């Protein structure tokens, strides 16, 4: 007898199992040759390997249906589990499109919303390193984190590493109150905010505790080799030239790097050149590295953000 552990990492288990496992019992009726044991986010499946494989495909349909509709009824379960062959494939792909990155928490559908965000999606599939540069509100960081979470869920990488300069002017944390974590948390919060949309809270805590998801200031990257990882450097305009070189050379085997930044918001001392600007000059023609420049048309925050950016750029 074969055994497979399936992890429900994109949905709360109760949405699939039902209260008191009511929905799970409906599912079990369709797979009498399998033994299903649910423990939180883990679902143990025991039985013949071919039947387990069939069950996995059907479970994917149920999860995707929930994400698309926000609900999984007994009727939907019966319909989806009763489908075979081409009908099953059509149902799985129904409603999905090339803009979809992943399904987040509570049925949140996370998509690329602009042309340049779509370019980010396409580029990271073809290249191992991507620079996404543009003004505030263009979704650079959010899209990058979504792509990282997708890669982790698809088992393309083993960990996600998110980093940024801890403070804009040289990472001088000494004046802040509290221990090191308390000093760093305010600067890491935008990265946490994105993850909270995409990974269930309990699962995210597990990832952080097991160091599957690591969030750390840029200074902590020195001396590391980042293998089998999806790595994001955020606020890269506030890296020095030596910091940027240090970061880029951390890249190990089977790694993906996304570097995001806004060249108009450099907070380094006036005589300190930005490592991001130097990297863009040096690396613009290197095979395997993609550079995407987002602009005002990509702003997806409040409509006033776009107007504010345009006014500041015009100087009037």
Backbone φ and ψ for 264, nearest 5 degrees, come out as -90, -5
pLDDT value at residue 178: 59
pLDDT in tens, 41-81: 899 999 999 999 999 999 988 988 877 777 788 888 988 88
Same fold, 2-93 and 100-314: no
- Per-residue pLDDT band for 168 (boundaries 50, 70, 90) equals very low
- Per-residue pLDDT band for 10 (boundaries 50, 70, 90) equals confident
Compute the mean pLDDT over every residue in the chain, rounded to the nearest whole number: 85
- Per-residue pLDDT band for 290 (boundaries 50, 70, 90) equals very high
pLDDT in tens, 196-209: 989 888 888 999 99
Query: Is a pLDDT exceeding 90 seen at residue 119?
Result: yes
CB-CB neighbours of 267 under 10 Å: 14
The larger pLDDT score, comparing residue 89 to residue 40, is at: 40
Residue 131 CB contacts under 8 Å (≥ 6 apart), including other chains: 236, 258, 259, 260, 261, 276, 279, 280, 283, 289, 290, 291, 292
Place of tokens 């979704």: 139
DSSP per-residue letters across the chain: -EEEEEE--SS-HHHHH-GGGHHHHHHHHT-TTSEEEEETTEEEEEE-HHHHHHHHHHHHHHHHHHHHHS---HHHHHHHHT--HHHHHHHHHTT--TTEEEE-GGG-EEE--SHHHHHHHHHHHH-SEEEEE--TTS-HHHHHHHHHHHHHHTTS-SEEEEEE-SSTTT---TTSSS-HHHHHHHHHHHHHHHHHHHS-HHHHHHHHHTTSEEEEEGGGGTT--B-SEEEEE-SGGGSBHHHHHHHHTTB-TT-EEEEEE-TT---S-TTS-BHHHHHHHHHTT-TTEEEEE--GGG--S-HHHHHHHHHHHHT-
Region of poorest pLDDT, from 41-50, 196-205, 228-237, 244-253:
196-205
Q: Domains of the chain: which residue ranges?
A: 2-93, 100-314
Q: What is the pTM of this model?
A: 0.70
- Per-residue pLDDT band for 1 (boundaries 50, 70, 90) equals confident
**How far is residue 149 CA from its own chain's centroid?**
3
Rounded Cα gap, residues 298 and 310, in angstroms? 12
> Domain 100-314: which CATH class?
alpha beta
CATH of 2-93, one of 2.40.128, 3.30.420, 3.30.1370, 3.40.50: 3.30.1370
């Amino acid at each position: 007898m074969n055994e497979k552990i399936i992890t429900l990492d994109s949905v709360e288990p109760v949405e699939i199992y039902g209260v008191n496992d009511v929905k799970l019992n409906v599912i079990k009726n369709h797979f009498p040759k399998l033994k299903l044991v649910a423990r939180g986010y883990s679902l143990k499946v025991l039985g013949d390997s071919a039947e387990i494989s069939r069950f996995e495909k059907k479970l994917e349909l149920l999860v995707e249906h929930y994400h698309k509709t926000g609900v999984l009824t007994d009727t939907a379960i019966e319909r989806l589990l009763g489908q075979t062959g081409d009908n099953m494939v059509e149902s799985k792909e129904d409603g999905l499109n090339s803009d979809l990155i992943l399904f987040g928490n509570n049925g949140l559908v996370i998509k690329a919303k602009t042309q340049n965000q779509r370019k980010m999606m396409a580029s990271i599939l073809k290249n191992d390193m991507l620079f996404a540069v543009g003004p505030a509100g263009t979704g650079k960081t959010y899209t990058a984190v979504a792509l990282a979470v997708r890669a982790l869920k698809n088992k393309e990488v083993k960990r996600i590493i998110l980093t940024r300069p801890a403070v804009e002017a040289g990472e001088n944390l000494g004046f802040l109150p509290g221990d090191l974590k308390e000093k760093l948390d305010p600067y890491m919060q935008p990265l946490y905010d994105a993850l909270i949309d995409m990974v269930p809270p309990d699962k995210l805590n597990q990832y952080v505790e097991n160091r599957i998801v690591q969030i750390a200031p840029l200074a902590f990257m020195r001396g590391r080799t980042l293998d089998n990882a999806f790595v994001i450097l955020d606020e890269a305009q506030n890296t020095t030239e030596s910091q940027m070189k240090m970061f880029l050379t951390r890249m190990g085997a089977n790694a993906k790097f996304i570097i995001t930044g806004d060249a108009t918001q450099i907070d380094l001392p006036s005589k300190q050149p930005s490592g991001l600007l130097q990297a863009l000059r040096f690396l613009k023609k290197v095979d395997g590295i993609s550079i995407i420049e987002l602009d005002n048309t990509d702003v997806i925050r409040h409509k006033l953000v776009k107007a504010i950016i345009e006014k500041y750029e015009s100087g009037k």
